[in-house]
Amino acid sequence: MKKLAIHGGKPVRTKPYPAWPQVDEDDVQAVSEVVRSGKWWMYAYEKDPAGGVGGNGRSKVSILEREFARIHNVKHAIAVSNGTVALDIACKAAGLKPGDEVITTPYTFIASSSCALNALSIPVYVDIKPENLTRNPDLIEGAITERTKAIIPVHFGGVFCDMDKIKSIARKHNLLVIEDSAHMPGASLKVRRFAGSLGDIGIFSFQNSKILTCGEGGMITTNSDEMADKCWSLRHMGRARYGGWYETVMVGTNNRLTELQASLLLSQLKKFFKQNEIRRHNAKILFSELSSIEVITPPAYHPDTENDIYYLVCLLYNREKWDGAPRENVIKAVQREGIPVSAGYEYPLYKNPVFKNIDFNSPQSPYNIGRTKPVKPYDEYENECPVAEHVCKEGTIWLTNELLLGNEEDTRDIVRAFEKVYENRKEIMNL
Ligand SMILES: Cc1ncc(COP(=O)(O)O)c(C=O)c1O
């Protein structure tokens, strides 16, 4: 048995994985051209009917929007400054009102809850599925009340939610579906049903870790002309899309993407499909070789997946199979073997202090408008979401996208490291 690196042995690898984001001269060239042009915002061009009043068809932002909509087989794409505000705008466009309820997932980034809170609405949590950490659609109907207005499915890491079930529940109860596809550009279900086009409105993030990035950025997608016009207005100071430059019709704010960011995204987009191919190839190797060692399991991807993407691979950790080795110790040992794995979220969203800091139920509370029942204390979700609790505590080990951007041997090193730590599991019980 080879000695673990954490105990002074030779690590499986010392070479780093590819850097993320990946930068090349084309990116430098693309951004430099915009800098030199002096056209740094999307309204630097003359008026063009293609973008409506004050918009234009020639700005990098407009080109990006058209290209993104085409790729995702969706009618409208509206670029914004990040994925968090994309969700905020989507909630406003969906007409969320104070005191409304939004059913969301406890296992994700805070943005799909903060968007409800920013609209003075109430995030309501239902548990996730142990096999792939997406929200369990069978629990949604039990959480619907007369105040429920929307469902926010979050496709996670590369795993699609069960959109067919979620949409049929939404139809039955007349709810809007706001599809958080922050992790999922380019991902589709058969046939050409792309993330971001499946609900009433969808969002993406181009934040630094995402598989399509310009550091910070976001996109809203929808097939509804009405939603698109509202989102256009909301990201643009509430301006009238087809009105005068100073004509304000909605309470909006400035959430526009810059030309520099859009040019970087357009340049990154040229490499995006190739990068996805590399990750796909390596994911196949990873999953097949992990399944033969049987000690750590890939998540269950949606059976209808057509274009698979890998933003995160949330491997499922089963402590019993490891004779009780704590997940944290496995992570430490695998990291020392040269694989930068991580544990993910420390606790489900409802445990965030923000929920203690908001007064939901006093008569003056803006969250209480028109409510007939008090908001349930958020610590009660602990009993209702045992899977999310377990996953945060010890149920998953995350691999980030760049770990699948190397070659086949780089990928096999991930398997070798887990294998080696597993063989030595008795040595890591107390680190
Ligand atoms: C699932 C999900 N939704 C929304 C967001 C928010 O995106 P941004 O960081 O661009 O604001 C993130 C960010 O990481 C995310 O992971």
**Domain for residue 356, yes or no?**
no
| 0.85 exceeded by pTM | yes
**Domain for residue 308, yes or no?**
no
Q: Which amino acid is at 154?
A: V
Tokens representing 315 are 């491997």
* Phi, psi values for residue 296, rounded to 5°: -150, 135
Q: Give the whole-angstrom CA distance, residue 382 versus residue 375.
A: 15
**Domain for residue 290, yes or no?**
no
Evaluate: CB of 84 within 6 angstroms of ligand 1: yes
**Domain for residue 143, yes or no?**
yes
Displacement of CA 216 from its chain's centroid (Å) = 13
**Domain for residue 301, yes or no?**
no
Cα of 182 to ligand 1 centre, how many Å? 6
pLDDT tens for the chain, 431 residues: list them. Answer: 899 999 999 999 999 999 999 999 999 999 999 999 999 999 888 665 445 545 567 899 999 999 999 999 999 999 999 999 999 999 999 999 999 999 999 999 999 999 999 999 999 999 999 999 999 999 999 999 999 999 999 999 999 999 999 999 999 999 999 999 999 999 999 999 999 999 999 999 999 999 999 999 999 999 999 999 999 999 999 998 888 888 999 999 999 999 999 999 999 999 999 999 999 999 999 999 998 888 899 999 999 999 999 999 999 999 999 999 999 999 999 999 999 999 999 999 999 999 999 999 999 999 999 899 999 999 999 999 999 999 999 999 999 999 999 999 999 999 999 999 999 999 999 99
**CB–CB of 79/218 below 8 Å?**
yes
Question: 3-class SS at 193?
Answer: strand
Ligand 1 pocket, mutate which of 84, 206, 257 (most atoms under 8 A from CB): 84
At CA 160, angle to CA 381 and CA 386, rounded to 5?
20
Cα of 322 to ligand 1 centre, how many Å? 33
Evaluate: CB of 205 within 6 angstroms of ligand 1: yes
Cα of 343 to ligand 1 centre, how many Å? 18
**CB–CB of 96/119 below 8 Å?**
yes
Q: Which atom of ligand 1 is nearest to the CA of 111?
A: 4
Domain at 242, CATH number: 3.40.640.10
Q: Which domain holds residue 165?
A: 25-268
Question: Which strands sit side by side in the sheet containing 296-297, from one edge to the other?
Answer: 296-297, 312-317, 396-400
Q: Which residues, at least 6 apart from 267, have a Cβ–Cβ distance to it below 8 Å?
A: 26, 27, 29, 30, 31
**Domain for residue 360, yes or no?**
no
Number of domains in the chain: 1
Cα of 79 to ligand 1 centre, how many Å? 14
**Domain for residue 333, yes or no?**
no
Cα of 83 to ligand 1 centre, how many Å? 5
